[in-house]
Amino acid sequence: MSLSTGEESRMREEVLLADRDGVLEVTINRPEQRNAMTKAVAEAIAAAMDQLESSDHLRCAILTGAGGSFCAGMDLKGFLRGELPVDARGGFGGICTWTPRKPIIAAVDGPALAGGFELALACDLIVANQNARFGIPEVKRGLVAAGGGLVQLPRLLPRALAMELALTGDPIGAERALELGLINRMTDGPAIDAARELAQRIVANGPLAVGASKAIVRDSWLWEVDRLNQHQRAHVEPVFRSEDATEGARAFAEKRAPVWKGR
């Protein structure tokens, strides 16, 4: 599906897409169910990520939810029917096991619970309204946070705090999440507004450099210590050889804004 600037369209009706100034806004549109995740929505989000990856015009994505909620996790009614809200490649919500090279910002209003929290953690940055809540309450329903929460939280928090969130299932508010470094911004207005401002700061930068930087930050914890430079070089060298690198240096010398080509 191709999107023109400013155009908004439905993908499988429950996911809305909008292209705004090079930023792909993806909105889960199930407000009556607090945007609980279904298989159809997961596959639609994964397809939107393919759109982001393949379009030279799109530089960044914002993932949010309609109606004052981000995502309340797995749709339990669907689960009782035997449905799992996963995409074959992207996992839960379409992005928990794969994301595009370009950055994704989660704009969180209201609850981001269970798989909703895992969905936000799968994004690269999180902006939240002050009334947002985060947690993995699966144990309260006899389930396990299998969408990445139990893996990601011990890497982001001290072990004791990650264990408390996992074993009690109790949520934390946006202010506490900010204190712990789990989110980037807290706002008293709609999270989407702050996310758009952050997205434009990213879009202003060289797209190749942004993609390489995301890849290094996200993947470097997997690299062997004695091969760190080798792994990083594979991402860095193509950027330094690119037209954008030359343009960035020239624009700085000429005291003007760079014109990125993504090559």
DSSP label of 85: -
Whole-angstrom Cα distance, residue 179 to residue 211?
A: 27
Range of the domain at 98: 8-203
Domain assignment of residue 3, yes or no: no
Domain assignment of residue 263, yes or no: no
Domain assignment of residue 261, yes or no: no
Strands 125-129, 104-108: pairing is: parallel
pLDDT confidence of residue 181:
96
In a shared domain, residues 115 and 224: no
Residue 3: pLDDT above 60?
no
In a shared domain, residues 239 and 178: no
pLDDT tens track for 224-257: 777 777 777 777 777 778 877 777 777 778 888 8
Residue 137: CB partners within 8 Å, gap ≥ 6? 113, 114, 169, 170, 171
pTM over 0.85: yes
In a shared domain, residues 180 and 232: no
Check which CATH number belongs to the domain holding 219 and give it.
1.10.12
Domain assignment of residue 104, yes or no: yes
Domain boundary among 184, 203, 222: 203
Active site residues: 118, 138
Q: What is each CA distance from 212 to 105, 192, 222, in whole angstroms?
A: 17, 25, 16
In a shared domain, residues 213 and 132: no
pLDDT tens track for 37-65: 999 999 999 999 999 999 999 999 999 99
In a shared domain, residues 190 and 245: no
Instruction: Please spell the DSSP secondary structure of 92-160, one letter per residue.
Output: ETTTSS---SS-EEEEE-SEEETHHHHHHHHSSEEEEETT-EEE-GGGGGT---TTTHHHHHHHHS-HH
In a shared domain, residues 246 and 172: no
In a shared domain, residues 102 and 159: yes
Please count the structural domains in the chain.
2
Contact assessment for residue 222 and residue 168, using Cβ atoms and an 8 Å cutoff: no
Residue 9: pLDDT above 50?
no
Check which CATH number belongs to the domain holding 139 and give it.
3.90.226.10
In a shared domain, residues 162 and 246: no
Taking alpha carbons only, the member of 131, 140, 11, 122 closest to residue 68 is 131
Whole-angstrom Cα distance, residue 232 to residue 220?
A: 8
In a shared domain, residues 218 and 122: no
Residue 177: CB partners within 8 Å, gap ≥ 6? 126, 128, 132, 134, 183, 186
Rg (CA), the chain: 19
In a shared domain, residues 39 and 139: yes
In a shared domain, residues 196 and 215: no
- Calculate the average pLDDT of the chain: 89
pLDDT tens track for 79-129: 888 888 899 999 999 999 999 999 999 999 999 999 999 999 999 999 999
Per-residue pLDDT band at 4 (split at 50, 70, 90): very low
In a shared domain, residues 130 and 221: no
Residue 96, Cβ density class (10 Å: 0-12 exposed, 13-18 middle, ≥19 buried): buried
